[in-house]
Amino acid sequence: MNLPMNISFAHLPATYEAAKPALAECQQADERNAWSDKASTLEFYARLAEDDELEKIAMRLRGRSIRRI
């Protein structure tokens, strides 16, 4: 197989180019899911501790992360 000397000038398939932003979006969705899970856990512990203020904060955080998914 003959590879170009300077790889930056290589022509990449259109599917590869389309896959790059799709993978970036998946990574962002995974991060949002992780934050939603963390906020849900924090909300649960705040409810157990009867800390209404922390529970409200956790609910808002989880709500924001869910809306962005």
> Is residue 7 predicted with pLDDT exceeding 70?
no
Residue 61: inside a domain: yes
Q: From CA 24, how far away is CA 21, in angstroms rounded?
A: 5
Residue 46: inside a domain: yes
Q: From CA 57, how far away is CA 39, in angstroms rounded?
A: 9
Residue 34: inside a domain: yes
Which residue range is the domain that position 45 belongs to?
Answer: 20-68
Q: What is the pTM of this model?
A: 0.61
For 17-45, how does the pLDDT look when each residue is reduced to its tens digit (9 = 90+)?
Answer: 787 887 788 788 888 888 889 999 999 99
Domain count, the chain: 1
Residue 10: inside a domain: no
